[in-house]
Structure 1
């Protein structure tokens, strides 16, 4: 039930984001004097609407986005009333059209920034110094956090009745102890500890550690567990020893800020997310084969793209596991991605319209400099084959991601 509630909440958050995206277009267009005839949430049959001034507002039956109708977006629009010609969008200066067309993405960025600021002052934002790769984790000092049990089989799950207790906990080790040796073999890092423990036979072992600056030793009964080789999580499992501890990183995972400091923290993290979003978009073509593999029965790579369906499922998982931080970070990431993606210079995206507007402006300037007549506006009809190609590619990619999210979804939490 909690999962379904989370799915519904995340889907609602997406719907609100997209509706505000369209509201950004509408409000900026109206502010410049352009005529907006319709603003609707959803698609399909109209469920409810009303008219205020020259604009019809309403809700449609399929809650998968929204739209607003701005009169005369291109010179080729043939549904412009002669009385509205002076207010046609294409007649306005390029900077005004740029603001109107980018307002949707700016709205997504604003939503993400507000959510990040709230997270910064309430629970904190990710610490850039927190280890983010396997190599960085392995290089950390072997400071431990006790596990409540040992899961014998190779499974990512919570403790269950019947699981053996943590050997470290039974030996009276504590959270924050730094392991320095196992059976006399020195341990200088978390990676060293894993190697030494795995190479030690199950059973009695001596563990040297430092607690509050004082060196001590404990006799530990190492457990036998099934694990794949280090660095090869998909490799064949074998019986190795386990101490029943996890790494306690030397830096906190989250940094909390005050109301003023949160602005700087939000700005820093936004820069990090911008770089990550750009890299993720560059990798999209490379991930198509992995999506097909997931659809046809292979393992789903957690780094493959997801659709709105997949994002909503992850949001549902987050709520079901009380991981609200993950829920809101998904919301932030999705808004950043949509905002950036929508600015790509491809029709029918907003970025495509912006690119054409500035192409016209630069071309007119260049022609004027060389004394030639202004060639006029770009004929959008000639660009329709490219537009249809973009729509087709986008449709196929969407179908792939939705199918993968239905038949082989990504999961963030053990089941």
Structure 2
């Protein structure tokens, strides 16, 4: 039964990825057809075609390598500046561009003169290229909305779960753990401000320094405490239905840095980033809670921000993944992973029968939603062959034409992205190499949630 549940979890992710890719391409296909561009092909996958069917002027099908998808639009590359399809060339880069133009010209049929992609206004081309990523954004929003409004998510509340008697720096904690020392306080350890203020487990914090906090505002409370080191400030709480007020003085100490979601920030090697901030020495009680639909945009925004942070730090994180994969170094649990790794996590979660079915379903839906957010962010990277590269090319063309018109100069014409094909191939090879590294790491040293 466990094996079947594991396979079911993997299949959920595999189907979710396939549907997400298919709908991503629909996001390009629909506006392209609305704007009159002829689309000869809509394909899921790459390589040899294993099944296809033509409907109207478009061939729809599946290819052998399920690592993406594409739609073929007529006129993706403009002709050479002199109007010819191919010019005499002596360089490899020029040859690549000329071959691409030739292949593009061979796809043009009578009647396509005004149905080519490059002839569209800049804003229409941008809408077509944004269609795919924004379809993934919508899917991410959709799945996350289902989870948070229907199943609920674990929230850190302002109910105190534990109160420490003393404060120990993060570095000292790690040192004691490595030495196997007891977690008991030592005489030299400073007393925890929360304990001194009289707070105890079960108390519900209602305000800090005059700022009211609600049940789900633990991160807000933390953000108020961290800059208040050394200040004696009022704090109110409810115990056994009775409201109390006391004074608390956060202690300046070394703690892990946190992101906007309240999660500890790690370096590329998996170690925690630390900062000196105010700390009172109490923990938060977590609770499964459903949220209103109005909370979903903020959650999606936080997810997008987290993925964007990983993308911006991707080179360093990939180096860390490679070191972990080929050595005994631990894998960063917050680092990038491949679809294989996500599928393995899904299988692991599905197979854990001790977890309620409702929670397992919610986690799988969350994974599919997060994958779509990752596809949204990744496809907006301004490099060809990604959608962001085409968007950047269209924007550059619009800027050139704007200034040409402003200074009454000759129209510079469309941007010839065929000239960027060498860079496109380099990026494509790098993407395949990155995918191969992550898949290998997810096999030999996978990330585990448990």
Aligned counterparts of 2:39 and 2:286: Cα–Cα separation in 1: 52
For residue 327 of structure 2, what is the aligned residue in structure 1? 297
For residue 290 of structure 2, what is the aligned residue in structure 1? 256
Output one character per residue of 1:340-386: Cα deviation in whole Å (capped at 9) or x when no partner: 11011111111111111111111011012112211212222321232
Aligned pairs for 1:2-401 (under 5 A) are 2-75=5-78, 76=101, 77-79=104-106, 80-125=108-153, 127=155, 130=157, 141-142=162-163, 249-250=284-285, 252=287, 254-257=288-291, 261-262=292-293, 264-298=294-328, 299-321=330-352, 322=357, 323-401=360-438
Distance 1:49 1:395, change over 3 A: closer
Residues paired across the two proteins, number: 314
Aligned counterparts of 2:240 and 2:283: Cα–Cα separation in 1: 15
Output one character per residue of 1:87-116: Cα deviation in whole Å (capped at 9) or x when no partner: 011111111111111110011011111112
Q: Say whether the 8 Å CA contact 2:144–2:296 is kept in structure 1.
A: yes
Q: Say whether the 8 Å CA contact 1:36–1:70 is kept in structure 2.
A: yes
Aligned counterparts of 1:110 and 1:213: Cα–Cα separation in 2: 43
Output one character per residue of 1:264-314: Cα deviation in whole Å (capped at 9) or x when no partner: 111121122122122222221221221112211322221221011111111
Runs of 4+ displaced beyond 4 Å: 185-190, 211-214
Output one character per residue of 1:26-45: Cα deviation in whole Å (capped at 9) or x when no partner: 11111111111111223333
Aligned counterparts of 1:393 and 1:187: Cα–Cα separation in 2: 57
For residue 439 of structure 2, what is the aligned residue in structure 1? 402
State the shift of 1:405 in Å: 0.7
State the shift of 1:85 in Å: 2.1
Q: Say whether the 8 Å CA contact 2:393–2:417 is kept in structure 1.
A: no
Structure 1 unpaired stretches of 5+: 132-136, 144-153, 155-179, 191-210, 215-229, 232-246
State the shift of 1:125 in Å: 4.1
Aligned counterparts of 1:5 and 1:305: Cα–Cα separation in 2: 23
Aligned counterparts of 2:14 and 2:198: Cα–Cα separation in 1: 48
Aligned counterparts of 2:66 and 2:136: Cα–Cα separation in 1: 18
Distance 1:289 1:64, change over 3 A: closer
Q: Say whether the 8 Å CA contact 2:46–2:65 is kept in structure 1.
A: yes
Q: Tell me the secondary structure at the aligned position of residue 286 of structure 1.
A: helix
Q: Say whether the 8 Å CA contact 2:142–2:369 is kept in structure 1.
A: no
TM-score, normalised via structure 1 length: 0.69
Aligned counterparts of 2:199 and 2:63: Cα–Cα separation in 1: 62
Q: Which moved more, 1:101-110 or 1:287-296?
A: 287-296
Aligned counterparts of 2:379 and 2:338: Cα–Cα separation in 1: 15
Q: Say whether the 8 Å CA contact 2:27–2:135 is kept in structure 1.
A: yes
State the shift of 1:212 in Å: 5.4
Aligned counterparts of 1:278 and 1:370: Cα–Cα separation in 2: 38
Aligned counterparts of 1:189 and 1:324: Cα–Cα separation in 2: 35
State the shift of 1:126 in Å: 5.2
TM-score, normalised via structure 2 length: 0.64
Distance 1:43 1:126, change over 3 A: same
Q: Tell me the secondary structure at the aligned position of residue 428 of structure 2.
A: helix
State the shift of 1:325 in Å: 2.4
Q: Say whether the 8 Å CA contact 2:12–2:364 is kept in structure 1.
A: no
Q: Say whether the 8 Å CA contact 1:344–1:350 is kept in structure 2.
A: yes
Aligned counterparts of 1:376 and 1:365: Cα–Cα separation in 2: 11
RMSD of Structure 2 on Structure 1 (CA): 3.0
